[in-house]
Structure 1
Amino acid sequence: MNIAKNTPLASRLAAAALAVILGACGGGGGDAGTSPPPASTMGSLRVALTDAPSCGYEHVFVSVQKVRVHQSSNAADGDAGWSELVLAPAKRVDLLTLTNGVLSELGQTALPAGKYTQLRLVLAANDGANPMANAVTPSGGQEVALSTPSALQSGLKLNANIDVAADQVADMVLDFDACRSVVRLGNSGGYNLKPVVAVLPRVSDAAQRVIGYVVPALAAGTQVSAQLNGVPVKSTVPDASGKFVLAPLPVGSYDVVIQSSGRATATVTGVPVSSTANTTLNAASAPIDPPLSGQHLASGTVTLNPAVSPIDAMVVARKTYTGGPTVEVAAMPVDGLTGSFALTLPSAAPVKTAYLANATALSFQADTATPTGKYSLVASTASLSKTLLIDVSNSDALALSLTLP
């Protein structure tokens, strides 16, 4: 992999040289024997990897072998027109080290200028030479291989919106959600990898990020997410000082949700993200400290009808505030063999406050709705979903059953 220097001359020379290489190996997608496009029609793609916080794992390793892009969202694996970023050898990354704005660089490659609407992430296979290319370490357990579907060796298809301009570098980040991507397989000790990945534009440290602080004592048990209509767009965990950074984030307005073990859910509404500056929620001297809350379990089983194995479904618990918004409080993939799930939810009233520019401290108010522990529990597959209202204000909600469809 060659990283081009950010000078026009160096960029053109590097683009031309890499175009020749891509043409020779077919990576640029042109017909064999044709000359590469002139340097003026070439740009570059640079890709990095980041992650959302994981649930219940100490390490989640993936080995990235290629990143492939195409200008058609419908292009098949063997069609002409693919451009590739090849990592040789494959790069093994612990996803759980990539939180709070940390990126792992995958590299850069030259490719024809244009709009690319399909990206494929190709992972190396677990084989005799590298049986732990993709692996997971459960909390308190030993590292075990992740079973990967054969489709990952031809590439996980992702929708993309990448504009590559001539003589410029398009910066993209693959946001890998480890929590939603690792599926337990009953008591077999096995785990499946079902990658959930978003393709986001990379931004500078000076814009398109939300920065805030929680009480340092809560940092180890806290997750923070920027949500849009109850769906997390970016999640992270605070560092030891309590600081959290949500990045990269597309320009827009978000609800920032703080979930801490033993505490009520706290939400800051209407948090703006701009292309010109970072957004700071509060000062380090006035960290967010959600009120104490009891915790209760919501557990049960998701069943597919007709039955399919493994069971590929998610369960999400959402809380609706009086007057809005609705936010995601907890989520997990169900057990791939049994369909079982178990979520721990706060029983106390959630708190919220509206974003205030240049605020030093945030003043949260408890939601007045009762029961305080009422949630919408949503089980879903790629095409089906079912919702169940539950109440964990005073006790666990056990033996829940959700059948799809």
Structure 2
Amino acid sequence: MKNLKEFRPARALAWTGLGLIAATLAACGGGGGGDSSQQGTLKLAMTDAPACGYDHVYVTVTKIRVHQSATAGVNDAGWSELAIPAQRIDLLGLTNGVLQELGSLPLPAGNYQQIRLVLADNPSNPTPAAPLANALVLSGSAKEIALATPSGQQSGFKLKANFDVTGGQVADMVLDFDACKSVVKAGNSGNYNLKPVVAVIKRLTTQIVGYVDPAMASGVIVSTRDPDNNVRATVPNATTGRFVLAYLPENTHYTVTMAGQNLTTAAVTGIPVSIAAGTTTLNTATTPIVLAKSASATVSGVVTNASNTPLTEATVNAQQILSGGQRLDVAWAQVDPSSAAYGLSLPLAAPFAAPYVANGPLVFSADTATAGKYNIFGSAPGYTVQSTAPAVTLTAPNSVTPKNLVLTP
């Protein structure tokens, strides 16, 4: 069970490629017709970052709506719509770059800034033949629990986007669905809410590939930040320890972080990614990265605004800054949707870092100046992410350090 008092990485899963979903276009104020030279095509697929404490997270998307305005209301003109035959998608089968194709639709050339995901309703009396459309299965359990999806079936979930459609060309985009941040336990009620955290990214032919020790792979999350400061994350394969961070924009200074509860954080710095090279390989299966055990301590508190109103849609992130200036995302979670409380369990041991070496061994060394030191960031819709995060220094194993966060619009 996911516990907001602590960070719990997902169990890695085996996966297979998933088939193409047929899609049709329903034009809603500008989706079809006109000069074909001024039309391009939007192609969409879905992938997933890791989930915390779940074996399955199912969603059933029935429509995807696209608009050029970031502020367009659900009933405004100018929407184009992709209707999708109902098919339940297990997000946890889409890690390590695996995609679920959603289809494509013609769009007028231009810049698009909003996408809405419209979900199917959960049946009132689910059966094996008609299961829950949106549900989760807790790790180690076989029972499906319904996901509450407020507004998901009517207005749809609003996603920020910023991509261009060029006449006569295909805009190939991926919806990177972060199940860990998207599923929130509602206090002690036993209920779970779906609040999708989805990044709209380009489908590029780039990736970073590496291996962690298979013995600990099920407890590790691997992440990096792209040039737009978006977190990209995955979980290693539980059998081989292999991980893939895919669809990354070109950059010469990626830092890949490997973190897990009660494990020492490891990082590889200065990793180049280019379209020309395609795949950047960190290491091989014969030289897996091993994360040593570490004692942990907890940071917990409540996220509010200046009026002391709980911000129940906030997300909290714990980062470490290496001596070389690289930022490591060690743990993150959404707050409790009733109280806005959070809790993150963080390792006390100093992180280990190694510079990337092409075709060479990774040589790790402890960054002792960083041991136990964390910056705690809070963010929420309509509020500014803190430019200077509250800093904490953790020293005592199993201790709890209170740290409330106050955000400003």
Which category of TM-score, normalised to the shorter sequence, fits these structures? Answer: 0.7 to 0.9
Partner of 1:74: 71
Q: Give the C-alpha shift of residue 338 in structure 1.
A: 3.0
Q: 1:127 to 1:162 in 2, by over 3 A?
A: same
Query: Which structure's relative contact order is higher, taking Cα pairs within 8 Å and 6+ residues apart?
Result: 2
Out of 88, 95, 102, the residue aligned to residue 92 of structure 1 is 88
Partner of 1:124: 120
CA distance in 2, matches of 1:307, 1:26: 45
Letter in 2 for 1:236: T
Q: 1:171 to 1:258 in 2, by over 3 A?
A: same
- 8 Å CA contact retained: 1:329, 1:345: yes
Cα shift readout 1:265-312 (whole Å, capped 9, x = no counterpart): 111112122122221112222111133322333334445564657722
Out of 387, 390, 394, the residue aligned to residue 388 of structure 1 is 390
Partner of 2:102: 106
How many residue pairs match? The answer is 377
Out of 58, 61, 82, the residue aligned to residue 58 of structure 2 is 61
Letter in 2 for 1:104: Q
Partner of 1:10: none
Cα shift readout 1:22-54 (whole Å, capped 9, x = no counterpart): 5xx543626xxxx92244443322111111001
Q: 1:74 to 1:229 in 2, by over 3 A?
A: closer
- 8 Å CA contact retained: 2:227, 2:249: no
Partner of 2:216: 218
Letter in 2 for 1:354: P
TM alignment of 1:119-198, pairs within 5 A: 119-128=115-124, 132-141=132-141, 142-150=143-151, 153-198=154-199
CA distance in 1, matches of 2:401, 2:323: 28
Q: Give the C-alpha shift of residue 356 in structure 1.
A: 1.9
Q: 1:95 to 1:151 in 2, by over 3 A?
A: closer
Partner of 1:227: 225
Partner of 2:269: 269
Q: Give the C-alpha shift of residue 367 in structure 1.
A: 0.6
Name the SS of the counterpart of 2:181 in structure 1.
helix
- 8 Å CA contact retained: 1:225, 1:232: no
Structure 1 residue runs of 5 or longer lacking an equivalent are 5-17
Letter in 2 for 1:396: N
Name the SS of the counterpart of 1:96 in structure 2.
helix
Larger Rg: 1
Name the SS of the counterpart of 2:397 in structure 1.
coil
Q: Is 2:319 the partner of 1:322?
A: no
Q: Is 2:283 the partner of 1:282?
A: yes
Name the SS of the counterpart of 1:153 in structure 2.
coil
Letter in 1 for 2:210: G
Cα shift readout 1:65-107 (whole Å, capped 9, x = no counterpart): 111222333333223322211113x332111111011111111
Partner of 2:296: 295
Letter in 2 for 1:266: A
Structure 2 residue runs of 5 or longer lacking an equivalent are 1-19
| TM-score under structure 2 length normalisation | 0.83
Q: Give the C-alpha shift of residue 115 in structure 1.
A: 3.1
- 8 Å CA contact retained: 1:231, 1:327: no
Q: Give the C-alpha shift of residue 215 in structure 1.
A: 1.5
- 8 Å CA contact retained: 2:46, 2:101: yes
Q: 1:163 to 1:376 in 2, by over 3 A?
A: closer
| TM-score under structure 1 length normalisation | 0.84
Which structure is higher in helix share? 1
Partner of 1:199: 200
- 8 Å CA contact retained: 2:208, 2:281: yes
